[in-house]
Amino acid sequence: MLLKEIKDIYHKELGGIYLKEEIDSFFYSCIEHYLNLERFILAIQPGITLTKEEEQPLFEVLSELKLEKPLQYILGTAHFMDLELQVDENVLIPRPETEELVQWILDDCQMEEQFKSDAERSRSVISTMLNDHSLRILDIGTGSGCIAIALAKHLPNVTVFALDVSEGALNVARKNAASNGVDITFLHEDILDIELELDFDIIVSNPPYVRELEKEGIQKNVKDFEPKTALFVPDEAPLLFYRAIIDFAEKHLSEKGKLYFEINQYLGEETKALFHARNFSEIELRKDMFGNDRKLKANVPSRGL
């Protein structure tokens, strides 16, 4: 069968479910993944023909896409920043909003090195941590490991820890750390019930934050396929995990440590108020690329004498 005919079948079969641009993206991702063909192949070889063996995986993917299964789970891979990661139904699919959160941390860690004078640099919290080769980072609810791995890749002289309650997620994250050449200490722990004898300079988390009442507005490919324990929180306790992480941070963040979070876009001010109530300082709420409250940073409260 002609490759362009298969493309037409994708559009015919999926047109009532996805936008045209999404279908194009699916098709080109599939031919690159299974056939190692570039997306412009039809422009230069419009008559390219596939064998039955070559066609088979494309039609198998089509069947799963009709069920609205995410393409990343079908292919088993996802991209995050400059990383290629394995993903399956044990982990959330990494998203651009989370890339922004990681970039915020990277920018904070690098900015003062680039712009501060030598005198200012000597007083810089983050620069001090970097220069003494002891910056410790903890990623809570690591999932695929995307945050932890990206930070380990891009920051020098750091020790990265990553925890998750799901052993299935940790298995995926371990494979991703190995394939991307980074050394991360993985911890099988529940942040709601944890005892840990370690301190950290940065704690970052993209915890569950979607309320049950918000399920109706969530796309089927997310609601039906991505791990529910990584997504949803009870309506009566939407900040459950943020409270638990604050409790943990008050004991385990270093004297001038920082917290970074991805948050529910509808609960930005409520989340910010929670940190104010617990005396965190320099609390900053940021919007994502779509103009939604999605990220928050806070400095550890003073512990006094």
pLDDT-derived band of residue 301, with 50, 70 and 90 as boundaries? confident
Is pLDDT above 60 for 215? yes
Average pLDDT over residues 18-43: 94
DSSP string covering 155-206: SSSEEEEEEES-HHHHHHHHHHHHHTT--EEEEE-BTTB------EEEEEE-
- The pLDDT > 90 percentage for the chain reads 81
**pLDDT tens-digit profile of 140-177?**
999 999 999 999 999 988 999 999 999 999 999 999 99
* Nearest alpha carbon to residue 149 among 88, 204, 196: 204
pLDDT-derived band of residue 110, with 50, 70 and 90 as boundaries? confident
Task: Give the whole-angstrom CA distance, residue 189 versus residue 197.
Answer: 13
Question: What pairing do the DSSP bridges indicate for beta strands 281-287 and 293-299?
Answer: antiparallel
User: Domain coordinates of the chain in residue numbers?
Assistant: 3-67, 80-299
Write the CB contacts of 89 (distance below 8 Å, at least 6 apart in sequence): 73, 225, 226, 227
Task: Give the whole-angstrom CA distance, residue 169 versus residue 181.
Answer: 18
Task: Give the whole-angstrom CA distance, residue 49 versus residue 76.
Answer: 26
pTM exceeding the 0.85 threshold for the entire prediction: yes
Is pLDDT above 70 for 187? yes
Average pLDDT over residues 224-239: 94
Average pLDDT over residues 250-254: 93
Backbone dihedral region of 177: left (phi > 0), alpha (psi from -120 to 50 degrees) or beta?
alpha
The helix/strand/coil state of 26 is: helix
Amino acid at 144: S
Write the CB contacts of 98 (distance below 8 Å, at least 6 apart in sequence): 80, 146, 147, 206, 262
Q: Who wins on pLDDT, 290 or 112? A: 290
Q: For residue 95, what is the enclosing H or E element?
A: none
**Architecture of domain 80-299 in this structure:** 3-Layer(aba) Sandwich (3.40)
